[in-house]
Structure 1
Amino acid sequence: MGMLLLAVAVLAATNVLVNRLGPELYVPVCAAAAGALVGIARLAGLTWDELGLGGSSARRGLRWGLVLAGAVIVVYLLALALPYTREAFQDERAAELTAGQLVYRVLARVPFGTVLLEEIAFRGVLWGMMRRRWGAAWATGVSSALFGLWHIQPSRGLTRSNAAMEAVFGTGGTAVALSVTAAVVGTALAGVGFCELRRRSGSLIPPMALHCALNSAGYALAWAAGRWWGS
């Protein structure tokens, strides 16, 4: 139990750091935190297979990952092509990026920062430690709830930066509270899906691939939408 609480404490400290430090430190901090969490899990006795990082399931995980990533890109392109779903891609945070910043975000910050840390933390270390102690159902529920809470701080500006979120929730303090609540619930539910992928495949590769495709392709298409259809 002590190692599990230590892992949660490392995550809490990392959440504060990544939301307060400059963007140039985001990837190193995330990578260091991911390494520390893996070290904690190994000290607690978890095997590489229990972390979803074993070689025995890697081939199956790669197959699942390729299919999931391809499906995300197809769905995104269809949504971008339709006028009534295109508004969801109108996000100022992506539209304001330069081409160089976009490449860094898509190819470095998302895969080696966000996805690496969050998947190792929530579907690897926490899920593995809790599954060993309480079973898969509890591991999925608790790690997904923590995954939702992890997104409180980064979701505070959604109504200001995303046109679709502003259209749904409006502006002002109440709108921010509602949008943050929706983001926490939504990411917690997404966490359940990621955990199930982890459980069924036996590997972290499928949730990593899906997570990376959702975020990286989302940034790229939001950037494109801001230039092609932005006001």
Structure 2
Amino acid sequence: MTAPLIWSNWLLPRLGLDMRGRTAANAGFATGYALVFDGRANWSSVRGLRYGLASASVVVAGYSAAVAIPEVRRRLRQFADRGPDVTPAEWIVVHIPIGTVYSEELIFRGTLDPLLDNTFGSRAGILLGASTFGLWHIQPARAAGDSVPATVAATALGGLVLGMLRRRTDSATAPALLHLAINAGGALAPRLAVRWARRSTS
């Protein structure tokens, strides 16, 4: 449990890498972590794929509705300028799938959750895994200027949902697809809201 927290909140920030470097470093750490601790991501699970696509479709529908509702769309536009120092396309196509989703799902749902379940049982394991996932986001919240307690609480809650999906499907594929839909949609929806507004005024 401590290795991911040391990596995310202490070692990685001290490397001083740009976005591309952080993506490569996170993916490398995740792969090494899974190899050392005998990760069981089970990426090829058909059950995981089905559950993941179903979960992701709900998120996509939610973002679509948010962009379509004028009041929500106005609020979404406020977040359009939040993003890393790369193009939105690169962020959505490369850094979110590899630097965030692959890395975090392989570490937490593919490796840590099975270890915790085997050691403490599934009830304690899911709580410990979700808590560690929340604490993983301390430094990213600080870097973004977000509330650390709110970010830790929100991501821990998300970790519970992702952990339940992993346990139901015995695969990291389902939580990975849901995670991808949430993060990519969160990056894309505000930009779609801005384009909608520009078309409406042109």
Q: TM-score range by the shorter chain?
A: 0.7 to 0.9
Query: Match of 2:131?
Result: 145
* Matching residue within 73, 84, 90 for 2:71: 84
Distance verdict in 2 for CA 1:53–1:150, change over 3 Å: same
State the distance in 2 between where 1:202 and 1:75 align.
26
Amino acid at match of 1:12: I
Amino acid at match of 2:57: G
* Matching residue within 82, 90, 104 for 1:93: 82
Show CA shifts across 1:209-228 (max 9, x none): 00001101211112222444
Q: What's the CA shift for 1:84?
A: 2.8
State the distance in 2 between where 1:145 and 1:10 align.
12
Amino acid at match of 1:53: N
Q: Could you tell me which runs of 5 or more consecutive residues in structure 2 were left unpaired when the two chains were aligned.
A: none
Distance verdict in 2 for CA 1:216–1:62, change over 3 Å: same
Q: 8 Å contact 1:68–1:210 — kept in the other structure? A: yes
Identity of aligned residues (%): 33
Q: 8 Å contact 1:116–1:208 — kept in the other structure? A: yes
Q: Could you tell me which runs of 5 or more consecutive residues in structure 1 were left unpaired when the two chains were aligned.
A: 43-47, 160-175
Q: 8 Å contact 2:8–2:137 — kept in the other structure? A: no
2:167 is paired with a residue whose SS is helix
Question: What's the Cα RMSD here?
Answer: 2.3
Show CA shifts across 1:72-114 (max 9, x none): 11110101111332214521214x877xx11111111011110
Query: Match of 1:12?
Result: 6
How many residue pairs are counted as aligned between the two chains? 194
Amino acid at match of 2:10: V
Q: 8 Å contact 1:141–1:192 — kept in the other structure? A: yes
1:154 is paired with a residue whose SS is helix
Q: 8 Å contact 1:65–1:207 — kept in the other structure? A: yes
1:156 is paired with a residue whose SS is helix
* Matching residue within 124, 128, 134 for 2:114: 128
Query: Match of 1:52?
Result: 41
Distance verdict in 2 for CA 1:194–1:77, change over 3 Å: same
TM-score w.r.t. the length of structure 1 is 0.75
